[in-house]
Amino acid sequence: MNVQPLTQHRPGDGAAAQFSSAPPLSLYVHLPWCVRKCPYCDFNSHVAGAALPQAAYIDALLRDLEADLPLVWGRPVISVFLGGGTPSLFEPDAIDRLLSELRARLPVLAGAEITLEANPGTLDTGRLAGFREAGVNRLSLGVQSFDDACLKALGRIHDAAAARRAVQVARACGFERLNLDLMFGLPGQDVDQALRDLDTALAAEPGHLSWYQLTLEPNTVFYSHPPPLPAPERMEAIYEAGLARLAAAGYSRYEVSAYARPGHGCQHNVNYWQFGDYLGIGAGAHGKLTLPDGIVRLAKYRQPATYMARASAGQAVAERRRLDHDERVFEFLLNALRLVDGFTWRQFGERTGASLGAVRPRLQEAARQGLVTVDAHGARATSRGFDLLDSVLECFLPTSVDA
């Protein structure tokens, strides 16, 4: 595909930003309903009623996409991610229709990664087989824990037996690309419990593990009524021992909380972290696109009923804003420094349209603090910087970036 160079000039940017090509494009589809809202969840999710409006919602998704198509016309899609909420609440026939209609409107590459997020409490053999037949080729299971007491504390609808069964059935249904979401630092959890969880996940031999600490996010039940979490020294012990176990089992850490065997990294998320482009359709979905007049972010209406009404009228966009110079630089670093390999200078220039002068002094200061490594090819966080990533990113807040 030939992509025309994109140029931008904005007062205060200095020289016009030069984009030699558009970055890879992904598609995110938000399916916002779940059985029950978990007390730690700050995602745009809503408790499902007696019956999901599956057909009507897919109609709205397609109208939403059609309104966005002029922004990406002709660009191939490298990955599709069905997130939520709990997308596995949708019937396999609905997912089949959705994916077929998406392919009719977008040039989704052959062999593109198609991910579905799923809750073990919503799955059985028939549903998983149906999702696989519909074209889903990567499954992300929200296990969170294999301990019944921890699952109850987290408000999950499944138990440990359901989690183990979901992994086994997913394998039997042909899901070779499998991710398990697993948390540590759970209410009342000790070191042995956390490592037993991790060992159970490793024994299942998924290609990918998302292993991360429970955090108390604003606007959640846990934030308003904090549960008893492990002390910091216990968290540190879990973390250090867990890293050793993951490495010994052959899982390479390639992002802050992502670990994979060779060839099993999440292509969709890597595109986010490398500041690629993505369309976002669905209630509350966000998108980031490189356009002739710069990089824009789009956000869709959050409430499902409002979204469906607006999308059906071709007006699903609730907010559209163009990133200024400092925002482009900061958002690139916010994502790229999450990757173990960091970024190259070429990637920085191509994805931000900014000069190295915009970040060099700040990178040098972070390097002096031992937080990043800078060489002739690019930059990446050190081991210490990875553990103190918020401190690294503070160096590049928009108010601090040298334009």
SS3 338: coil
Query: Does the residue 305 lie in any domain?
Result: no
Q: Which residues neighbour 220 within 8 Å (Cβ) at sequence distance 6 or greater? A: 39, 40, 41, 42
Q: Domain range spanning residue 232? A: 6-271
- Residue 50's pLDDT band (cuts 50, 70, 90): confident
- State pLDDT tens for residues 265-313: 999 999 999 999 999 999 999 999 998 778 999 999 999 999 999 999 9
Domain boundary among 232, 249, 271: 271
Output the pLDDT for position 19: 67
Q: How far is CA 14 from CA 289, 323, 358, 369, in A?
A: 22, 15, 11, 29
- Are residue 263 and residue 328 in the same domain, yes or no? no
Check: CB of residue 281 under 8 Å from CB of residue 30.
yes
Q: Is 16 exposed, middle or buried (0-12, 13-18, 19+ CB in 10 A)?
A: exposed
Q: Which residues neighbour 205 within 8 Å (Cβ) at sequence distance 6 or greater? A: none
Query: Does the residue 317 lie in any domain?
Result: no
Residue in this structure with the two tokens 């039997």, named with its chain if needed: 172
Query: Does the residue 224 lie in any domain?
Result: yes
Q: Which amino acid is at 189?
A: Q
- State pLDDT tens for residues 141-180: 999 999 999 999 999 999 999 999 999 999 999 999 999 9
| 143/398: higher pLDDT | 143
**CATH number for position 336:** 1.10.10.920
- Are residue 353 and residue 219 in the same domain, yes or no? no
Check: CB of residue 279 under 8 Å from CB of residue 28.
yes
Output the pLDDT for position 20: 65
Helices 125-134 and 92-105: crossing angle in degrees, nearest 10, is 10
Query: Does the residue 292 lie in any domain?
Result: no
- State pLDDT tens for residues 365-392: 899 999 999 999 999 999 999 988 988 8
The domain tally of the chain equals 2
- Are residue 257 and residue 329 in the same domain, yes or no? no
